[in-house]
A and B are shown apart, each in its own frame.
Chain A
Amino acid sequence: MIVLVLRRGALSLVTLFLLATFVFFATEVLPGDALDVSLSADEMAMMPPEVLARRRAELGLDRPVLERYLGFLGGLLNGDLGRTIITRAPVADIVAMPLRNSIALAGVTLLLALPVALAIAMAAAQAKGRALDNAVSGAAIIGYSIPEFVTGLLLIAVFAVWWPVFPATITASTDDPLGVLLAAAPLAIATTIIGSIAYLGRILRVGLIEVMAADFVERLHLSGIPRWRILWLHALPAAMIPGLSAAALYAASLVSGVVVVELVFAYPGIGAELVRAVTRREVHVVQAIALAAAVCVVLFNLLADLGIAALDPRTRRA
């Protein structure tokens, strides 16, 4: 098991290195440098060449590619993601808080959605083919297929306009403590939770139904082992395995991909920051966010793999 953890960890580091390389070359080596991209054509035309050259030198854009690449990697190791072009603020500072907020949103969502999804899946799997199961499955498909901006706007219409119990948009600011921020964002959290329950519930239900038909469940049933024990100790871990990888990717997408929810509710997360960076043409910020998203995917995949290895001894060959 330890060997496996080390191996998977090392592989993840290799993946991250390749990712960083890819992100760097994708944004830096394409035609035009960071300065060209961040300035509009008018600004370019207005600026005298020597000013441009000076700013290039300041940003280090005049150095050879390889040197900049090594500098970029070195900076990454020190947590230095460069500075923005317009305000000259450190990119790390700009990205840190929104990233924290997004991770918090994803964490709270999963924490609340997973038990609910699990309970629903278990109830549905027990009543397979009967009214309860059909109702749950139908609701899950609806919940899963409605886009988040529709759910979000519906929630706003109901709970902020018709029956104003929650604020429509978030009044807390980016740097507020997490408690304050999350307390101010009940509708945003509800929106992501609804989608998550539908998605995770479906995966878990299918897994459970399959496992409950397995031979080992029948053997236990025929040994007179109580049903709750079969379900919790034998069936549930087996049913979680196929769901784990899917859930990990989903969690990663929650961190990096709830742009819509963040914009609808003005939640100060990484998705909203990405949109802002793109409109302001802040190449380094986009680079940093892309990297952070990739790190999330790799990290959650690693966690899922380790979780699967913990659940399924057959995969534990290091």
Chain B
Amino acid sequence: MRSAWMRREVGVADPVLQVRDLSIAWRGADGRANRVVDGVSFDLAAGGTLGIAGESGSGKSTLARALLGHCRAGSAITGGSIRLDGDDLAALSEPGLARRRGRVMAMVPQNPLASLTFHLRVGRQLEEVLRWRAGLSADAARLRAIELFGQMGLPDPERLARRYPHQLSGGQRQRVVLACAIACDPLLLVLDEPTTALDKTTEAQVLDLIRRLRTARQGAMVIVTHDLNVVADICDRVLVMQHGRIVEQGPVGQVFATPREAYTRVLLGAALRVENASRARPAAPGLPLLEVTGLGFRYARPSLLRRAPPGPPILDDIGLTLARGEVLGVIGESGSGKTTLGGIVTGLLAADRGRLAFDGTELTARRTREQRRRIQMVFQDPLSSLNPRRRVGDAVMRPLRLFHGLDQRDAARRAARLFEELGLEPALLARFPRQLSGGQQQRVAIARAFAAEPDLLICDEITSALDASVQAQVLDHLAAMQRRQGTAMLLITHDLSVVWRMARRVAVMQGGRILETGETEAIFRKPANPYTAALLGAATRAARAGQPELVDATG
């Protein structure tokens, strides 16, 4: 391995990683091969950072795993070569690959919680890599693990090493997984969606860490992501993939400033929304539709005794009003209580303090059918909110028949019209949820909500499971629907660009409290609260990268 480092220093011109004409195919149940990576070629120089961008299904994660010589069961490399450090990974045997994995090339997988063994302490998991892959003794591994955790910016590394994965925060888990990957100082580090599971503030911190690692290590890095903000932030080259092929590649500044391909422009458009968007949604005057005052919520501690002391407050003294037809954005990190707030307004949870007034009458957790019709909800994960065994048409027709008493024929006709309004082929009504794409599934969930003709719609992170380009599409349809029906909306999200695009007013939440409420424009331009400023700072990096002179050269 040392010799590899020496050789790299001889000439920077020759690349560390050289991928030529690489193809990977899945063999389906019918025996037909389905190419997910198709004729991909690129080079990566020593010390370089390459971003691989594309929607889910573009083959970027499959490509990432192939860079470690790994294909999941059912798929295989069908052609081409992956030259890393003089070897062709596509031609190496499994033992040969195993010898190099972790040392020559290492991977930071997508989901840090699921990627750590849940029943082992995180320190032990890092020590395992150090002992088995870096060849350290037990004592040396223990010391080195603490040291590495410290370098990852983890607080109190000695105590943290004794904790289990589920006891860490999302950002801490990501740092642990990172530490495991760089434990043997690999030549090539592949990061698969390193920030997708994180909220904006944590994402900025983890990206800072990755940037520091890049300068300190000088090894080559590949970052796979659907978020062009991330690419803009830390990569020097970008490779855009669609349907397994490379659509465009080049230096980040150049590709972002003058994208040649339409697909790249779509991806970029989705990422740059924060900087230029225009909304015009004046709220209707008169009595507020929803009025929340002094709302508080705690989870009861499970106990044998009924009157146990309640847990810490999840929501504390929440107050907000929503006019008819108005869209209010609710933003905050995960854990700020915004989802709980949505649950209480919907009636899924019961508040234990405060008042909830809807259209002049008190709302409790027990609702009349009419109240249930007038307040609808769209959830984050459309797939788990649709019955997998019922056709999506049934899902949309159910509220039509239940709330409006339509018969089968009228319901089917109305469902088809709702589908058309949301840009879905009526033929899709006969499909099962699994047979639709993520964006289609979410539009079905929206159609179901609007079928009830609600006055208030609660949207809880409805775009966070979707790709950037699909997000825009779903939001456009949602906005058009909302305007047509004049529905008021509570838009819960951690994505500021969604709020900027959709909501005239915004409430910023942290730790179960509302920090500030006001016009989106005013708050985004001039945040009064330092937390809001931090949230905003984390979100506006992508646009800067389009202007080369503003790219952060120090890293």
Residues of A bordering B, CB below 8 Å: 214-216, 218-226, 229, 233-234, 237-238, 311-314
Instruction: Establish whether residues A222 and B119, one from each chain, have CB atoms under 8 Å apart when the complex forms.
Output: no
Residues of chain A lying within 8 A (CB to CB) of residue B100: 224
Instruction: Establish whether residues B133 and A314, one from each chain, have CB atoms under 8 Å apart when the complex forms.
Output: no
CB distance from A136 to the nearest CB of B (A): 19
Given the contacts A215-B111, A225-B128, A313 and B166 also touching, CB distance less than 8 Å: yes
Mask of B66-104 contacts with A, CB within 8 angstroms, 1/0: 001010100000000000000000000000001111110
Instruction: Establish whether residues A226 and B98, one from each chain, have CB atoms under 8 Å apart when the complex forms.
Output: yes
A224 to B98: give the CA distance in the assembly, Å.
Answer: 5
List 20 extra interface pairs beyond A222-B101, A234-B120, CB under 8 A: A214-B114, A216-B114, A219-B107, A219-B109, A219-B177, A219-B180, A222-B109, A223-B101, A223-B102, A223-B106, A223-B133, A224-B98, A224-B100, A226-B98, A229-B128, A234-B117, A238-B118, A238-B119, A313-B164, A314-B164
Mask of B506-518 contacts with A, CB within 8 angstroms, 1/0: 0000000000000
Instruction: Establish whether residues A223 and B119, one from each chain, have CB atoms under 8 Å apart when the complex forms.
Output: no
Residues of chain A lying within 8 A (CB to CB) of residue B181: 223
Residue of B nearest to A215 (CB): B114
A273 to B160: give the CA distance in the assembly, Å.
Answer: 56
Given the contacts A222-B65, A222-B101, A238 and B133 also touching, CB distance less than 8 Å: no
Residues of chain B lying within 8 A (CB to CB) of residue A311: 119
Mask of B110-146 contacts with A, CB within 8 angstroms, 1/0: 1100111111100000001100110000000000000
Residues of chain A lying within 8 A (CB to CB) of residue B98: 224, 226
A182 to B344: give the CA distance in the assembly, Å.
Answer: 63
**Interface residues of B, CB < 8 Å — how many?**
32
CB distance from B110 to the nearest CB of A (A): 8
Q: Is the interface of A mostly helix, strand, loop or mixed?
A: helix
Residues of chain B lying within 8 A (CB to CB) of residue A313: 118-119, 164, 166-167
A239 to B65: give the CA distance in the assembly, Å.
Answer: 25
Instruction: Provide a sorted-by-A list of 16 A–B residue pairs whose CB atoms are within 8 angstroms.
Output: A215-B114, A216-B116, A218-B109, A219-B107, A219-B180, A221-B101, A222-B65, A222-B107, A222-B109, A223-B106, A223-B133, A233-B120, A238-B119, A313-B118, A313-B166, A314-B166
Residues of chain A lying within 8 A (CB to CB) of residue B167: 313
What are the 10 closest A-B residue pairs judged by CB atoms, nearest first? Answer: A224-B101, A215-B114, A224-B102, A223-B102, A313-B164, A219-B115, A215-B115, A234-B117, A222-B107, A216-B117
CB distance from A176 to the nearest CB of B (A): 43
Which has the most chain A C-beta neighbours within 10 Å: B110, B111, B120?
B120
CB distance from B122 to the nearest CB of A (A): 11
A313 to B120: give the CA distance in the assembly, Å.
Answer: 8
A312 to B110: give the CA distance in the assembly, Å.
Answer: 23
Residues of chain A lying within 8 A (CB to CB) of residue B106: 222-223
Which has the most chain B C-beta neighbours within 10 Å: A221, A311, A313?
A313
Q: How many A-B residue pairs have CB under 8 A?
A: 76
Residues of chain B lying within 8 A (CB to CB) of residue A229: 128, 132
Which has the most chain B C-beta neighbours within 10 Å: A216, A218, A221, A311?
A216
CB distance from A70 to the nearest CB of B (A): 25
Residues of chain B lying within 8 A (CB to CB) of residue A224: 98-103, 132-133
Residue of A nearest to B118 (CB): A314
Given the contacts A214-B114, A216-B118, A238-B117, A225 and B133 also touching, CB distance less than 8 Å: yes
Residues of chain B lying within 8 A (CB to CB) of residue A225: 102, 128-129, 132-133
Residue of B nearest to A214 (CB): B114
A77 to B419: give the CA distance in the assembly, Å.
Answer: 70
Residues of chain B lying within 8 A (CB to CB) of residue A237: 119
Instruction: Establish whether residues B119 and A312, one from each chain, have CB atoms under 8 Å apart when the complex forms.
Output: yes
A223 to B130: give the CA distance in the assembly, Å.
Answer: 10
Residues of chain B lying within 8 A (CB to CB) of residue A312: 118-119
Residue of B nearest to A316 (CB): B164
CB distance from B103 to the nearest CB of A (A): 7
A214 to B115: give the CA distance in the assembly, Å.
Answer: 8
Residue of B nearest to A313 (CB): B164
CB distance from A3 to the nearest CB of B (A): 13
- State which residues 187-243 of B face A: CB under 8 Å: none
Instruction: Establish whether residues B115 and A216, one from each chain, have CB atoms under 8 Å apart when the complex forms.
Output: yes
Residues of chain A lying within 8 A (CB to CB) of residue B120: 233-234
A64 to B130: give the CA distance in the assembly, Å.
Answer: 72
A82 to B68: give the CA distance in the assembly, Å.
Answer: 71
CB distance from A68 to the nearest CB of B (A): 30
Residues of chain A lying within 8 A (CB to CB) of residue B102: 222-225
A109 to B386: give the CA distance in the assembly, Å.
Answer: 46
CB distance from B419 to the nearest CB of A (A): 35
Residue of B nearest to A217 (CB): B117
Which has the most chain A C-beta neighbours within 10 Å: B70, B103, B119?
B119
Given the contacts A219-B115, A313-B119, A226 and B109 also touching, CB distance less than 8 Å: no
CB distance from A312 to the nearest CB of B (A): 6
A221 to B95: give the CA distance in the assembly, Å.
Answer: 11
A218 to B68: give the CA distance in the assembly, Å.
Answer: 12
Residue of B nearest to A128 (CB): B73
Residue of B nearest to A212 (CB): B73
Residues of chain A lying within 8 A (CB to CB) of residue B99: 224
Residues of chain A lying within 8 A (CB to CB) of residue B103: 224
Residue of B nearest to A220 (CB): B117
Instruction: Establish whether residues A222 and B70, one from each chain, have CB atoms under 8 Å apart when the complex forms.
Output: yes
Residues of chain A lying within 8 A (CB to CB) of residue B115: 215-216, 218-219
Residue of A nearest to B101 (CB): A224
A312 to B164: give the CA distance in the assembly, Å.
Answer: 10
Residue of B nearest to A238 (CB): B119
Residue of B nearest to A237 (CB): B119
A238 to B164: give the CA distance in the assembly, Å.
Answer: 14
CB distance from A83 to the nearest CB of B (A): 37
Residues of chain B lying within 8 A (CB to CB) of residue A233: 120, 128
Instruction: Establish whether residues B70 and A226, one from each chain, have CB atoms under 8 Å apart when the complex forms.
Output: no
A223 to B107: give the CA distance in the assembly, Å.
Answer: 7
Residue of B nearest to A10 (CB): B304
CB distance from A181 to the nearest CB of B (A): 39
Residue of B nearest to A227 (CB): B98
A12 to B80: give the CA distance in the assembly, Å.
Answer: 63
Residues of chain B lying within 8 A (CB to CB) of residue A219: 107, 109, 115-116, 177, 180
Residues of chain B lying within 8 A (CB to CB) of residue A220: 117
Residues of chain A lying within 8 A (CB to CB) of residue B164: 313-314
Residues of chain B lying within 8 A (CB to CB) of residue A214: 114
A234 to B98: give the CA distance in the assembly, Å.
Answer: 18
- State which residues 283-329 of B face A: CB under 8 Å: none
Residues of chain B lying within 8 A (CB to CB) of residue A221: 70, 101
CB distance from A220 to the nearest CB of B (A): 8
CB distance from B91 to the nearest CB of A (A): 18
Residues of chain B lying within 8 A (CB to CB) of residue A314: 118, 164, 166
A229 to B132: give the CA distance in the assembly, Å.
Answer: 10
A221 to B102: give the CA distance in the assembly, Å.
Answer: 9
Residue of B nearest to A213 (CB): B73
Residue of A nearest to B121 (CB): A313
A311 to B117: give the CA distance in the assembly, Å.
Answer: 11
A48 to B531: give the CA distance in the assembly, Å.
Answer: 92
A238 to B118: give the CA distance in the assembly, Å.
Answer: 8
